[in-house]
Amino acid sequence: MVLASYSNSVIELYLTVGVIGGLGLAFNLQPALTIIGKYFYQKRPMANGLAMAGSPVFLSTLAPFNQYLFNNYGWKGSFLILGGIFLNACVAGALMRPLEPKKMKSKNKIGIRAEDSDLKETQEKESTWQKINKYLDFSLFKHRGFLIYLSGNVIMFLGFFAPIIFLAPYAKDRGVDEYSAALLLSIMAFVDMFARPAGGLIANSQFIRPRIQFFFSFAIMFTGVCHLLCPLAQDYPTLVLYAIFFGLGFGSVSSVLFETLMDLVGAKRFSSAVGLVTVVECAPVLLGPPIAGKLVDITGEYKYMYLASGTMVVTSSIWLLIGNTINYRLLKKEQQKKDARKKNMQRLESAESEPLSKHKPYDDVTVKISKSHHKPSERETNI
């Protein structure tokens, strides 16, 4: 942002805000999400909701604050001030400490040396593909739940962010002034700020957490229905009502967006899953707003853009709802088969480990032989 304030062309803005700023946000997001999974398990949905509530706190004041900065300092001064604010994230990043495993003291130094040599040998034998697979686990593309989650999110993000971008222009098109139109984003962000921790609290309950995928699907559906009803808002009070319900739906989705992914793949594979998901989701996130803008240019009205966005979001919720229902049933059948196999193995092991004392004829033979005082023959000893 600071470098963007010294830009003199659109290409320089693409490089500073788009490339460098995008990399900075990516490096900021993934460690913050991963470290939550390392620190929390029982109350992880609530922790995710509280952590995700930080962005709407700033977003609720960002729209009028940006308008104020632009009117008083211009776009270059706005970028410079915003860059100074973003630099405070370095302090938060410095407080993130990874959990280190407890070191067990061992008196056997030879055993430690042998373990170190084995580790070195395995590290030398690792191929380049295995090294890459440590950071990006491509085997996740064979994971059924991960594929359902990824495909549903790709459909959702095609129409997820466009309504936010075009909310203020849509209000201006309805005759609302600039500051009141910008205030709609603040209202939405203010509701979003409370909806995220509330959504995390609901998702952490005993009834919802085992069915968190369904909660995620219904939250997406609620947001899509809000977009479908947005064209009915023709004046400022109804636009405020839409912003409130939109903030409620947006916050509910955001509170469990990554918790559902962690529920599917586990905490160990979560960092790789987040990396792969964000790489794939870049395409719909980038294509969604331009396609929505093109639709506005062709039709000349914003309502068709909101109808198209709502349709995409509702379609993704139905896809996730059906896919997760099938996935839960298949997982239940697979678990039943595993339990049946374990029971069969336990029965076989118990049958094989029966004591020989149950066979009485052999005991009688041994007793008779032990009672005889003469020296046993070779045949008797063999018996």
Residue 59: predicted pLDDT: 67
Contact 51, 258 (CB under 8 A): no
As given in the structure block, the two tokens for residue 315 are 């379609």
Share of the chain above pLDDT 90, in %: 18
Q: Is 83 exposed, middle or buried (0-12, 13-18, 19+ CB in 10 A)?
A: middle
| Predicted confidence (pLDDT) at residue 208 exceeds the cutoff of 60 | yes
Single-letter amino acid code for the residue at 313: V
Tens-place pLDDT, residues 75-100: 888 888 888 888 887 887 777 776 66
Q: Which of the pair, 53 or 15, is modelled with greater confidence?
A: 15
Tell me which range, 58-67, 126-135, 154-163, 329-338, is most confidently predicted by mean pLDDT: 154-163
- d(C-alpha 273, C-alpha 34), whole Å: 10
The residue ranges of every structural domain in the chain are: 3-97+136-336
- d(C-alpha 285, C-alpha 125), whole Å: 40
| Predicted confidence (pLDDT) at residue 335 exceeds the cutoff of 90 | no
- d(C-alpha 39, C-alpha 369), whole Å: 68
101 DSSP 8-state letter:
P
As given in the structure block, the two tokens for residue 358 are 């149950």
On average, the pLDDT of the chain sits at 79
Residue 381: predicted pLDDT: 41
Average confidence (pLDDT) over 20-46: 75
- pTM confidence score: 0.72
Question: How would residue 104 be classed by pLDDT, with cut points 50, 70 and 90?
Answer: low
Which candidate, 33, 40, 321, places its Cα nearest to that of 156?
A: 321
For 261-303, give the DSSP string.
HHHHH-STTHHHHHHHHHHHHHHHHHHHHHHHHHHHHHHS-SH
- d(C-alpha 311, C-alpha 228), whole Å: 7
Which of 11-15, 62-66, 129-133, 235-239 has the lowest average pLDDT? Answer: 129-133
296-333 burial, b at 16+ Cβ within 10 Å, e below that, comes to: beeeeebeebbbbbbebbbbbbebbbebbeebeeeeee
Q: Which fold, 3-97+136-336? A: Growth Hormone; Chain: A; (1.20.1250)
SS3 252: helix
Residue 133: predicted pLDDT: 65
CB atoms closer than 10 angstroms to residue 7: 17
Question: How would residue 314 be classed by pLDDT, with cut points 50, 70 and 90?
Answer: very high
Q: Which of the pair, 371 or 80, is modelled with greater confidence?
A: 80
Instruction: Give the DSSP H/E element, type plus range, for residue 34.
Output: helix 21-39
Question: How would residue 239 be classed by pLDDT, with cut points 50, 70 and 90?
Answer: very high
Tell me which range, 21-25, 79-83, 154-158, is most confidently predicted by mean pLDDT: 154-158
Show Cβ contacts of residue 217 under 8 Å, excluding neighbours closer than 6 positions.
Answer: 317, 318, 320, 321, 324
Contact 147, 141 (CB under 8 A): yes
What is the chain's percent helix, strand, coil content, to nearest 5?
Answer: 85, 0, 15
Show Cβ contacts of residue 60 under 8 Å, excluding neighbours closer than 6 positions.
Answer: 186, 189, 190, 192, 193
Question: How would residue 147 be classed by pLDDT, with cut points 50, 70 and 90?
Answer: very high
Residue 227: predicted pLDDT: 92
Residue 245: predicted pLDDT: 94
Instruction: Give the DSSP H/E element, type plus range, for residue 364.
Output: helix 360-371
Average confidence (pLDDT) over 276-304: 89
